[in-house]
Amino acid sequence: MDKFIRHTGVGVPLRYSNVDTDQIIPAVYLKRVSRTGFEDALFSAWRHDESFVLNHPSYRSGSVLVAGPDFGTGSSREHAVWALKDYGFKAVLSARFADIFRGNSGKQGLLTGELDQDDIERIWQVLEDAPGTEVTVDLEQREVRCAEIVAPMQVDDYTRWRLMEGLDDIGLTMRHIDEIADFEASRPSHKPRTLA
């Protein structure tokens, strides 16, 4: 996993709240068995609409998505994160994220930064007034900068550490394999097994 320290890229204002994972990537795309190539699927229903923000040439190369509250609700599909990443997004900013989506993002190196809704609104204003404006997401400083705005960003310590180190979860857990084996040795025997 690549390390994430800070990133600067075109900000995309997505003025919707409650963007659920069915909107981020509809279920029909979940049939694929590969891990990459989902960029065409991102927001596919909305992209048919010419006025949709990503269809605006100045936003097309966006890499920082600035969304309304409760982003990523609904299904646990990790494809939502792959689609955002494959499209080129490095970070999503919102006042509130759905838990599973946030967890999935952290694992894939997509930063989910929590900002006050007031700051989100100010950034939206800048991005809409001057499409193509860049946003800097600074994980080290835990802040977002856009034009004159400097907004504090919340990311929990552990996720921040892992993203900045670029560490993979399974590798981390494998360091404790003996403890897992000890735990298994004392599991009650009445717990069910799927194989005989």
Partner 1 sequence: MGKTLAEKVWDAHVVRRAEGAPDLLYIDLHLVHEVTSPQAFEGLRLAGRQVRRPDLTLATEDHNTPTLDIDKPIADLTSRTQIDTLRRNCEDFGIRLHPLGDTEQGIVHVVGPQLGLTQPGMTVVCGDSHTSTHGAFGALAFGIGTSEVEHVLATQTLPLRPFKTMAINVEGKLRPGTTSKDIILAVIAKIGTGGGQGYVLEYRGEAIRSLSMEARMTICNMSIEAGARAGMIAPDETTFEYVQGRPHAPKGKEWDAALEYWKSLRTDDDAEFDTEVTIDAEELEPYVTWGTNPGQGLPLSSAVPDPASFAGEAERAAAERALEYMDLRPGTPLREITVDTVFIGSCTNGRIEDLRAAAEIVKGRRKADDVRVLVVPGSDRVRLQAESEGLDKIFTEFGAEWRFAGCSMCLGMNPDQLSPGERSASTSNRNFEGRQGKGGRTHLVSPLVAAATGVRGTLSSPADLDPTPLPSRDHEH
Phi, psi for 20 (deg, rounded to 5):
-85, 165
52-81 residues near partner 1, rule: CB under 8 A: 68-70, 73-79, 81
Size of the site for partner 1 (CB under 8 A): 57
Site for partner 1 in 125-154 (CB under 8 A): none
Separation CA 24–CA 57 (nearest Å): 20
Closest contact distance (angstroms) between CB of 171 and partner 1 is 9
Tokens of 11: 């900000």
Quote the crossing angle between the two packed helices 79-87 and 99-108, to the nearest 10°.
50
Tokens of 116: 């006050």
Contact with partner 1 (CB under 8 A) among 108, 130, 140, 154: 108
Q: Which is nearer to partner 1, 44 or 133 (CB)?
A: 44
Binding of partner 1 by 20 (CB under 8 A): yes
Q: What is the DSSP string of 49-106?
A: STTSGGGSTTTTT--EEEE-SSBTBS---THHHHHHHHHT--EEEES-B-HHHHHHHH
Which residue is listed with tokens 């994972």? Answer: 21
Looking at residue 25, its amino acid is I
Whichever of 61 and 176 has its CB closer to partner 1, that residue is 176
Closest contact distance (angstroms) between CB of 194 and partner 1 is 4
| β partners of residue 184 | none
Asked if residue 2 binds partner 1 (CB under 8 A), the reply is no
Q: Which residues bind partner 1 (CB under 8 A)?
A: 17-18, 20, 22-23, 26-28, 30-35, 45, 68-70, 73-79, 81, 96, 98-100, 103-104, 107-108, 156-158, 169-170, 172-174, 176-177, 179-180, 183-184, 187-195
